[in-house]
Amino acid sequence: MTQVDIVASFQTSYFISGLAPFGDSLVVLAYIPGEEDGEKDFSSTAPSRQGNAQRPEVRVVSWNNDELSTDALPVHGFEHYKAKDYSLAHAPFSGSSYAGGQWAAGDEPLYYIVSPKDVVIAKPRDTEDHIAWLLQHGWHEKALAVVESSHGRSELLDEVGSRYLDHLIVERKYGEAASLCPKLLRGSGSAWERWVFHFAHLRQLPVLVPYMPTENPRLSDTAYEVALVALATNQSFHNDLLSTVKSWPSVIYSALPVISAIEPQLNTSSMTDSLKEALAELYVIDGQYEKAYSLYADLLKPEVFDFIDKHNLHDVIQEKVVQLMMLDCKRAVPLYIQNRELISPPEVVKQLLNADNKSDSRHFLHLYLHSLFEVNPHAGKDFHDMQVELYADYDPKMLLPFLRSSQHYTLEKAYEICIKRDLMKEQVFILGRMGNAKKALAVIINKLGDIEEAVEFVTMQHDDELWEELIKQCIHKPEMVGILLEHTVGNLDPLYIVNKVPNGLEIPRLRDRLVKIITDYRTETSLRHGCNDILKADCVNLLIKYYNEARHGISLGNEGDEPRVNMSDHRASQAFEKSLSLKTMEMKSKTGGGGRCCICFDPFSIQNVSVIVFFCCHGYHTTCLTDSYYTSSTKESEATPKEAEAYDDYNGYADDASDENEEETKSDGPRMRCILCTTAAG
């Protein structure tokens, strides 16, 4: 027999119209009446058309009557229905029963709530139902959390994300919506572009730009360009534009549309430094390096010097002289000096003089002209008058060397500047160059009070009158007289100064100074005597050396040194010898005679004729030289006295003849001299 065991028993406050299992729980179709039967109004015999029943409910309860879930059903005409008008049926899954209160996937049963006019189908809720219910109630954030925790379908995430973003946009929470885009849109390029243009339409694109992907996915060029233009046209986002341009790869967009959107803002109130730097970066991307350099210079960017070298922009450095000087004058000055051919010194000076900040520009001008003068003292000669004033203001120690080196400044202007700045040594130098040595000496003595400087100045002038002036101005000042006595040894006679000193003038440390003067004078005298002795000894040694050189023998060679020339052959080839006579004489004039007569070219050994040899090593037969000498003497007699005097100055043969022979030679005619050397000199 079939037996039934009672496993649970409980009472309810409602009528049960149906019952079905639901895992470890029960599904109960509850009917809740409006009023109790005893409380009905029977005063009227006609039936009431106004129902008082409530909606039927589907309740999930435990076996102990603990309510787990309740849902009221919107059934048509529920007001007039009784408990018996409802019924509950269920279609259990086919196959084995559920295990542990859980159905396998796809085996969830269906429940049918039947009323006279409706049939309601119920089934267990899944994650998507829960998400839909959360979205329906406006809990988008919870719905998104459920999708993420349950790893739902990507289509479901897209739908939830899209509805969540729409909700945030409606609520005007643009920043929150933009921050969620990377999580909601993920790698969908089309979704990203759709939202980019949607934000652009709402004029809220700048808040989305920081979250836009540059790869995986990579959007279209237009999307990035629209984003950059949106940043550029909003002054509050110019800093974001700069950081975006630096961080985004330049290959994902074209810089030209963005440049076109920024350039109209130049020289307007909306142009900020960040926008200007961003424009410079875009110029670099687009290859417009000269425009980028101009903006970097205006922004005083330290890297502008490396930028110039990297892109070889030395041709355009003349446009931003003041800016580069303000940025780093130590690098700017050598840059302009090395490129003097591209930008001349007058142009540099002009721009610095026209600068707004006059104090800084004058200092920069001083640095530039100083360096230019060191490189080429004449390159900036037109500005040397200005340079005198600049040295006086910024580097007085360098003024005196400049005054000594330059010849292109006006002495009167320089003197006025030195007077205004109270520069004494410079005044002395200028007065000395102007020829007013006495006034310069007065400045040294009266204002500088430096007697040593005065002595040095007077010594350099080589003017005896200045010594008298120096003594005159110092003679009534005891201390100066003492110093003058110490520093005049070698220039003036100290006794002369002592005689000039007025009687009764007390000179400090006079005794010690006189002792020093005498000692110095003795030392100087001893040095002079020693130098004279050395000079005399050197003269004697040089004369002895000269004498020994003049009296040493001369080698003329012998017959074995070169082949003997046959006279017959010589006469036979006379025509040939005449054609080569000029070359032969030139050769013989450079070398010695070689044991031959330099006229007939016969060896001295084959003729018993006396030989005359000059110090130049050229030798002649006496007969050959006499004949040649006679011919030349005849020509000399026709020469002018000046020519004859010059002719006598040639080097000739000097023997040991006495002064009487020399006088006789002078009276008889010109001295004998080497024919070849005379011809070569002529």
Q: How far apart are CA 200 and CA 230, in angstroms?
A: 8
Mean of pLDDT values over 60-81: 86
According to the model, what pLDDT value does residue 584 have? 45
Which residue pairs, CB below 8 angstroms and at least 24 apart, start in 392-400? 392/417, 392/418, 392/421, 392/423, 393/362, 393/366, 393/421, 394/362, 394/363, 394/366, 395/366, 395/370, 396/421, 396/423, 398/370, 399/423, 399/426, 400/425, 400/426, 400/429
Pairwise pLDDT comparison (666 vs 345), residue with the higher score:
345
Architecture of domain 8-33+52-93+108-124: Beta Barrel (2.40)
pLDDT for 649 equals 40
Between 605 and 650, name the one with better pLDDT.
605
User: Residues near 676 by Cβ (< 8 Å), separated by ≥ 6?
Assistant: 585, 588, 589, 598, 616, 618
Q: Please give the structure tokens belonging to residue 570.
A: 């010589």
The pLDDT value recorded for residue 48 is 45
78 neighbors 33 (Cβ within 8 angstroms): no
Q: What local confidence, expressed as pLDDT, does residue 493 receive?
A: 60
640: pLDDT strictly greater than 50: no
Residue 667 above 50 pLDDT?
Answer: no
Residue pair 255/227 in contact (Cβ under 8 Å)? The answer is: no
C-alpha–C-alpha distance, residues 110 and 103, integer Å? 12
Helices (H), 89-237: 127-136, 140-150, 154-170, 174-185, 189-201, 221-232
Is the pTM here over 0.85, yes or no? no
Q: Cα 324 vs. chain centroid, distance in angstroms?
A: 10
Q: Which amino acid is at 634?
A: T
Query: Cβ neighbours of residue 606 under 8 Å, at least 6 residues apart?
Result: 564
Contact 371, 344 (CB under 8 A): no
Confidence (pLDDT) at 660: 40
Please say if the pLDDT value at position 681 is more than 50. Answer: yes
* Buried b or exposed e, range 373-404, using 16+ CB within 10 angstroms: beeeeeebbebbbbbbbbbbeeeeebbbebbe
Judge contact between 280 and 245, C-beta under 8 A. no
C-alpha span between 247 and 428 (Å, rounded): 65
In this prediction, residue 639 has a pLDDT band, given cuts at 50, 70 and 90, of very low
Residues in the chain: 682
Which range (351-355, 516-520, 610-614) has the least confidence?
516-520
Taking 50 as the threshold, does the pLDDT of residue 464 lie above it? yes
pLDDT tens sequence across 541-583: 999 998 888 777 766 665 444 444 444 444 444 444 444 444 4
3-state secondary structure 568-629: HHHHHCHHHHHHCHHHHHHHHHHCCCCCECCCCCCEHHHCCCCEEECCCCCEEEHHHHHHHH
The residue type at 136: Q
What was the pLDDT predicted at 241? 92
| Bridge partners, residue 88, by sequence | 113
110-114 β-sheet, strand order: 87-91, 110-114, 119-122
Distance of alpha carbon 365 from alpha carbon 344, whole angstroms: 14
Q: ω into residue 217 within 30 of 0, thus cis?
A: yes
Most confident of 103-117, 281-295, 659-673: 281-295
Contact 45, 113 (CB under 8 A): no
Which of 90-99, 486-495, 541-550, 564-573 is predicted with the least confidence, judged by mean pLDDT?
Answer: 564-573
**pLDDT tens digit sequence for 370-392:** 999 999 888 888 899 999 999 99
Measuring CA to CA, which residue among 615, 578, 618, 577 is closest to residue 595? 618
25-31 and 15-22 strand pairing: antiparallel
pLDDT over threshold 80, residue 99: no
What gap in Å lies between CA 648 and CA 643, rounded to an integer? 9
Other Cβ atoms less than 10 A from the Cβ of 674: the count is 26
The pLDDT assigned to 557 comes to 62
The encoded tokens of residue 601 equal: 């070219």
pLDDT tens per residue across span 150-167: 655 656 666 676 777 877
Determine the average pLDDT of the residues in 584-607: 67
Burial (Cβ within 10 Å: 0-12, 13-18, ≥19) of residue 30:
buried
Structural domain spans, the chain: 8-33+52-93+108-124, 510-552, 594-630
Between CA 294 and CA 299, with CA 295 as vertex, the angle to 5 degrees is 120
What is 331-395 written as a DSSP string?
HHHHHHHHTTTTS-HHHHHHHHHT-S-HHHHHHHHHHHHHHHHHH-TTTTGGGHHHHHHHHHHH-
Q: Tell me: the pLDDT tens digits for 417-453?
A: 988 888 878 888 888 788 776 777 777 766 676 666 6
How far apart, in whole angstroms, are the C-alpha atoms of residue 306 and residue 129? Answer: 64
- Of the candidates 534, 482, 478, the one whose C-alpha atom is nearest the C-alpha of residue 512 is 482
Q: 484 falls in which pLDDT band (50, 70, 90)?
A: low
Per the model's pLDDT, the better-predicted residue between 237 and 23 turns out to be 237
Per-residue confidence at 587, pLDDT binned at 50, 70, 90?
A: very low
- Residue type (1 letter), 167: H
Q: What are phi and psi of 19, to 5 degrees?
A: -145, 140
Query: Residue 596 has what pLDDT?
Result: 83
pLDDT score of 577 = 44
For residue 673, give the DSSP letter.
B
pLDDT of residue 152: 55
CA distance 64 to 493: 143
Question: Token match 């929150």: residue?
Answer: 176
Please report the pLDDT score of residue 258 as a whole number.
93
% of the chain residues with pLDDT over 70? 67
Rounded Cα gap, residues 131 and 317, in angstroms = 66
In whole angstroms, give the CA distance from residue 591 to residue 411.
Answer: 61
Give the confidence band of 495 by pLDDT, cuts at 50, 70, 90.
low
Report the candidate in 499, 492, 427 with the shortest Cα–Cα distance to residue 458.
492
> What is the model's pLDDT at position 281?
93
More confident residue, 93 or 506: 506
CB 56, CB 30: distance < 8 Å: yes
Tens digit of pLDDT for each residue in 239-288? 999 999 999 999 999 999 999 999 988 888 888 899 999 999 999 999 99
Please give, one letter per residue, the 3-state secondary structure of 630-668. Answer: HHHHHHHHCCCHHHHHHHHCCCECCCCCCHHHHHHHHHH
Instruction: Among 80-84, 173-177, 417-421, 443-447, name the one with the lowest average pLDDT.
Output: 443-447
Q: Are 510 and 481 in contact (CB under 8 A)?
A: no
Residue 544 CB partners (closer than 8 Å, separation 6+): none
**3-state secondary structure at position 208:** coil
Question: Which residue matches tokens 């930008």?
Answer: 343
pLDDT of residue 544: 93
Helix axes 221-232, 255-262, angle to 10 degrees: 20
Give the pLDDT score at 1.
Answer: 81
Stated as kind and residue range, the H or E segment containing 114 is: strand 110-114
3-state helix, strand, coil in the chain (%, to 5): 60, 10, 35
108 vs 385, higher pLDDT: 385
- What's the pLDDT tens digit per position in 133-148? 767 666 667 676 666 6
- What are the pLDDT digits (tens) for 515-550? 777 777 788 888 989 999 999 999 999 999 988 887
Chain-wide mean pLDDT for the chain?
76
